[in-house]
Amino acid sequence: MALGTSSKRYAKALVSHSIEEGNLDVMFDEINSLINILEESDDLKAFISNPTISRENKTKLLNELTGPSLPNISILLNLLSLNNRIDMLLDVCKVFVQQYNTYNDIVDVTVTTPVNISENLEKTIETYLSSIKAGKIKLTKKKDKDLIAGFTLDFDNTRLDASVKKRLEKMKKQLKTTN
């Protein structure tokens, strides 16, 4: 995921501030809640990125949405609003999660399969990843029926693709090249 330098700087500052305040885990939980709110609503994302809506109105709405349930988020909202960067909110939140994981030595891994995987297979994947990556493995499971069979593993800007879909695409490309 390519995220901008500004997003990284804001996220780094937020991580540092949260560590100083001793509420890094609380901030992490609130950031994840905010990510869920933002990703669930296309209308909200459109509202935030709309240049004709004032930053004050954007900040007001976001503060009302997060309100007392996410008290630490107001720090981030006010900082981004003050610097006219409220449209970067989702990116800053995603980078914050990445930096939190790095700080806590957590490897965020996504396994995508066409069907639900068993707990036994999940443990096998975690064991394999633990042998090649240092840190705690946080496994996220996704379903994608287009894979047909097999799986993909995504972690640390790396993709291991053992899907039938990928093999078929490779074969198709080879057939086109030979013709």
pLDDT per residue over 76-101, tens digit each?
Answer: 998 999 999 999 999 999 999 999 99
Closest CA to 96 of 62, 61, 72, 68: 72
- Two tokens, residue 105: 């030595």
Question: How far apart, in whole angstroms, are the C-alpha atoms of residue 73 and residue 27?
Answer: 8
| SS3 per residue for 49-104 | HCCCCCHHHHHHHHHHHHHHHCCCHHHHHHHHHHCCCHHHHHHHHHHHHHHHHHHC
**pLDDT digit string, tens, across residues 121-160:** 889 988 988 888 888 999 899 999 888 888 898 988 888 8
The confidence score (pLDDT) of residue 3 equals 62
Q: Is the pLDDT of residue 1 over 50?
A: no
The residue behind tokens 């639900």 is 116
pLDDT digits (tens, 9 = 90+) for 13-71: 999 999 999 999 999 999 999 999 999 999 999 999 899 999 899 989 988 888 877 88
Give the domains, in start order, of the chain with CATH numbers. 5-102 (1.10.520), 106-178 (3.40.30)
What pLDDT was estimated at residue 23? 93
The answer to whether the beta carbons of residues 156 and 107 sit under 8 Å apart is yes
Cβ distance 143 to 113 under 8 Å?
yes
